[in-house]
Amino acid sequence: MVGLQDDAKTQSTLLSDALNEAISAQYLQGRQALLLPDSTNFATIPQDINNPITASKVALGQMLFHDTAFATAGESMETKTWSCASCHHAAAGFKSGIPQGIGEGGINFGTNGADRVLSSAFNANGDAGNTAQPTPDIQPLASPSILNSAYQDVMLWNGQFGNSSTGVINQSIPPETLSTPGTPKAANTRGLSGLEIQAIAGLGVHRMNVETNSELQTNPQYQVLFDAAYPQGSIDVLSDAGKAIAAYERTVLANEAPFQQWLKGDAKALTDAELRGGALFFGKAGCSDCHRGPALSSEVNATTGEVFMAVGFADFDSATQANVHGSITLNDKRGRGGFTGNPTEHFRFKIPQLYNLADTTVFGHGASFTSVREVLLYKNQAVPQVDGIQQHLDNRFTPLGLTNSELMDLERFLTQALYDDNLARYQPASVPSGECIIVDPLTTQTQGFCP
């Protein structure tokens, strides 16, 4: 028995050494380069110099993010039934549990948002302002996770939000394209990072009101929270509310995942299969050629070519996907190129972070995969789902040559080693307004889910 235990320890040690070597071949700092900081150690979290993270901002932002009381600027009478968390929920890995995130117009929810559907009272193809058949707030691309988003300088799949003085991604884009008047992109004139711009613009895009006569001005608890976050006062409530939301989002980190525990020195945090999968991720499979840094998305100060890739994923298709509504524009399908107008960037989309993938069945910007296994098989074969874009595909999109057992190990690393099972710590038990965090008439009133 002792001999068998020694052999097992030796095997695990060898596998751990192999993973260490694979990481060291990628990063001069070794495993330190992949560590996610503690969520309260603000000095170590990437942030906008014009929006330093403070505990008071995070506390305010967490409430604004989850409180449905701010959903009062829609096209229907269905007020106070959505929030940021409707499409970025903790139980869904801070993604939407369905292919198309739905703010106003969504009904039901379920455990992780998978039961949310479009209300029949809304017309996804209708005209804005039609009160008889209001248009829903529904997304043309799958909702990316906010998890580990502190490591991304620009936001959305095409990176259109973000114009900070220290950013490198959008600096060369003409102002008329980057900050088009009359569009959400106009928020880029504020000169902030992507998370801040997305939060500020998103409040309007997603039909939430934090200004005149909103809960932020009329609720004493919110007044206390806001004054603590901005003790010098505020001359732009919308901007400061968005900055607080962004500060909160920057602290939402999967720093309790087993891989993070292993990086910190817990030799027993990963199984042998996960260790083998990790060595493949940073070695033979080449995943870390694109998925870089602590978030396994892209590194801080990455270049445009390191942030966006064309790997041939399919887009939303209402003809074949029953739960897809509305029309998807050509610019939506062109991704980064649809935003910049640069043909060399057509069909490139932002590289997503890889933690907590197992929380939903939505993968790819067009939700064209339902499992991590499907994505791995696709990349192992490297045959694009979209026809006619061969000239745009990234030169790293080539067959991986992995065996079935290697694919299984890699899948275990992605779904188990990178899985933080305690994301509920980022969700408040209640909000100052007393409203629901999630409105779901099919769910009993527990943990902020209200009928």
Mark whether 210 and 289 lie in a shared domain: no
Range of the domain at 120: 45-253+432-450
417-438 pLDDT, tens digit each: 999 999 999 999 999 999 989 8
Mark whether 321 and 273 lie in a shared domain: yes
Q: How many residues does the chain have?
A: 451
d(Cα 360, Cα 376) in Å, to the nearest integer?
Answer: 16
* Sole residue written with tokens 């100052």: 432
Mark whether 191 and 282 lie in a shared domain: no
* Tokens read off for 167: 């950013």
Evaluate if residue 443 carries a pLDDT over 80: no
Mark whether 31 and 53 lie in a shared domain: no
Q: Specify the DSSP element, H or E, that contains 106.
A: strand 106-107
Residue 9: predicted pLDDT: 65
Q: Do residues 299 and 29 touch, judged by C-beta distance below 8 A?
A: no
Mark whether 25 and 124 lie in a shared domain: no
Mark whether 377 and 239 lie in a shared domain: no
d(Cα 206, Cα 213) in Å, to the nearest integer?
Answer: 18
Greatest Cα-to-Cα distance within the chain, rounded to the nearest angstrom: 76
Q: With respect to residue 227, please indicate whether it lies within any of the assigned structural domains.
A: yes
Mark whether 300 and 247 lie in a shared domain: no
Mark whether 165 and 259 lie in a shared domain: no
- Residue 391 C-alpha from the chain's centroid: 28
Q: With respect to residue 425, please indicate whether it lies within any of the assigned structural domains.
A: no
Mark whether 146 and 183 lie in a shared domain: yes
Residue 7: predicted pLDDT: 58
Q: With respect to residue 423, please indicate whether it lies within any of the assigned structural domains.
A: no
Evaluate if residue 446 carries a pLDDT over 70: no
Mark whether 35 and 53 lie in a shared domain: no
CB atoms near residue 3 (< 10 Å): 7
**Any residues with CB less than 8 A from the CB of 309 and at least 6 apart, and which?**
290, 348, 349, 351, 394, 396, 397
Mark whether 313 and 362 lie in a shared domain: yes
Residue 449: predicted pLDDT: 76
DSSP letter string, 41-94: -GGGS---TTS---HHHHHHHHHHHH-GGG--SSSSS--SS--GGGTSBGGGTT
Q: With respect to residue 19, please indicate whether it lies within any of the assigned structural domains.
A: yes
Q: With respect to residue 6, please indicate whether it lies within any of the assigned structural domains.
A: no
* Sole residue written with tokens 């000169």: 191
6-51 pLDDT, tens digit each: 555 688 999 999 999 999 999 999 999 999 999 999 999 999 999 9
Count of the separate structural domains present in the chain:
2
* Sole residue written with tokens 């600027």: 73
Give the pLDDT band (50/70/90) at residue 324: confident
Q: Is 297 helix (H, G, I), strand (E, B) or coil?
A: strand
393-406 pLDDT, tens digit each: 999 999 999 999 99
Tell me the pTM: 0.95
What is the helix, strand, coil percentage profile of the chain, to 5?
40, 5, 55
Q: With respect to residue 166, please indicate whether it lies within any of the assigned structural domains.
A: yes
Residue 413: predicted pLDDT: 98
Q: With respect to residue 2, please indicate whether it lies within any of the assigned structural domains.
A: no
CATH code where residue 86 lies: 1.10.760.10
Distances (CA, A) of 296 to 225, 226, 436: 33, 34, 33
Mark whether 156 and 267 lie in a shared domain: no
Evaluate if residue 4 carries a pLDDT over 60: no
d(Cα 273, Cα 291) in Å, to the nearest integer?
Answer: 20
- Quick one: what percent of the chain has pLDDT higher than 90? 86
Q: With respect to residue 160, please indicate whether it lies within any of the assigned structural domains.
A: yes
* Tokens read off for 416: 């188990």
**Any residues with CB less than 8 A from the CB of 351 and at least 6 apart, and which?**
290, 291, 297, 298, 307, 308, 309
